[in-house]
Amino acid sequence: MTRVHNFCAGPCTLPVSVLEQLGDQMADFDESGMSLVEMSHRSSEYDEVHHRTLDLLRSLCSVPDDFDVLLIQGGATLQFAMIPMNLLSVGDTAGHAVTGTWGKGAFADGSAVGDVYAAWHGEQHNYARMPLADELDVREGTRYVHVTSNETIGGIRMPDLYALDVPQVADMSSDFLTREIPWDNYDLVYGGAQKNLGPAGVAVVFIRKSLMDPKCTHLPKYLRYDVHAEADSLANTPPMFSIWAMGLMLAWIDTNGGVAGMQQRAAERSSTLYDLIDSSDGFYRSPVAKGDRSHTNIVFRLGDADLEATFLTQAEQHGLMNLKGHRSVGGIRASVYNALPTESVEALADYMRSFAGGQA
């Protein structure tokens, strides 16, 4: 087996050990004579997997007792709509920090559902930086402020998670479990699993329990947080494979130092690449504000589009895959999520040095 260095922005690469455990158990789960994905979601085997995954999320993220942990299909995208549907009552409004592609997505879907406004807009800053807390225009009657802690496409990250006078809601899809969550400041934290936690198919939602009272009985069942919470995320058939795989990935995170370990890994690995970029005499350029550089999505440019194309072609010849920036912004993007082996970052750094040397 030859594995490439996979810098995919999502879905992410996964540890070989996790993939092998899935493979070993795929046809016969725990000597049951069937696959977990062929079982009833009410079976004792699945129940154990399901609850182990929920427990690992709770312990790894130090989730307080007054929060529920929910597993919901539809990715982070469905949360863009579910959040305002469940959290905004008549007369409430929500402020959005519109910091990039995903912040725009949350704002657009929020606008389709409720009364939301832009508390800050990154357009005039080319989406190259995050707002400071005191730059947010938080209006009277604001129920929550929505932030995107890491913009996956622009490659910017909130260096500090704010404490505001109103509760916040955070999309942490692309920096999930790479930093501690200051729970007091949040009512809800969410993210799709496929960036840092496992394969696609499930989103993790941490929600303050008091928000589910009164119940949102005017909404269809699947769109109600209280329905998922009361059923331990088993109100209907859950995405069993995704939850099983995420549980294995969370166990891997646990053995590799937990959130503190992932935080350190992310800081070190991103520094390796940013230091190289900064010391390349302008051969590589980072388009984002220095203090707001993402620790998981390292975006950079070369002299022109032709040189970037050559860089990408030769990178693939070295087994360095999925380095092309998002089609909306161009350039290069290396996504270095939790599961990416450190050797992959080293291989990329070696390649970047030799490519710059070869062009000099």
Of residues 259 and 352, the one with the C-beta less far from ligand PLP: 259
**Is 104 an annotated catalytic residue?**
no
Closest CA to 300 of 273, 263, 338: 273
Instruction: Give the nearest distance from C-beta 194 to ligand PLP in angstroms.
Output: 6
How far is it, in rounded angstroms, from Cα 144 to Cα 147? Answer: 10
Site for ligand PLP contains 109 (CB under 6 A) = no
DSSP string, 32-79: SSS-GGGS-TTSHHHHHHHHHHHHHHHHHTT--TTEEEEEESSHHHHH
User: Any residues with CB less than 8 A from the CB of 64 and at least 6 apart, and which?
Assistant: 183
Choose, by CB under 6 A, the member of 17, 43, 77, 93 that binds ligand PLP: 77
Q: Nearest distance from residue 152's CB to ligand PLP, in Å?
A: 3
Q: How far is the CB of 157 from ligand PLP (least distance, A)?
A: 10
- The yes-or-no answer on residue 171 being catalytic is yes
Among 7, 10, 12, 168, binds ligand PLP (CB under 6 A): 10
- Exactly one of 95, 192, 199, 247 binds ligand PLP (CB under 6 A); which one? 192
Shortest Cβ 235–ligand PLP spacing (Å): 20
Out of 5, 96, 195, 333, the residue judged to bind ligand PLP by CB under 6 A = 195
d(CA 36, CA 33): 10
Least distance CB 202 / ligand PLP (angstroms): 9
- CB nearer to ligand PLP: give 171 or 226: 171
CA separation for the pair 27, 34 (Å, rounded): 6
Q: Which two tokens stand for residue 13?
A: 């690469």
Exposure b/e, 139-169, CB count within 10 A at least 16 = b = eeebbbbbbbbbbbbbbbbbeebbebebbbb
* 176 near ligand PLP, rule: CB under 6 A: no
State which amino acid sits at residue 63: V
What burial letters (b/e) apply to 326-339, b meaning 16+ CB within 10 Å? beebebbbbbbbbb
Q: Does 273 bind ligand PLP (CB under 6 A)?
A: no
**Residue with tokens 């929500």, as numbered in its chain:** 94
The contact pattern for ligand PLP, residues 123-162, with x = CB under 6 A and - = no contact, is -------------------------x---x----------
Active site residues per annotation: 102, 171, 195
Contact footprint for ligand PLP (CB under 6 A): 10, 75-77, 102, 148, 152, 171, 173-174, 192, 195
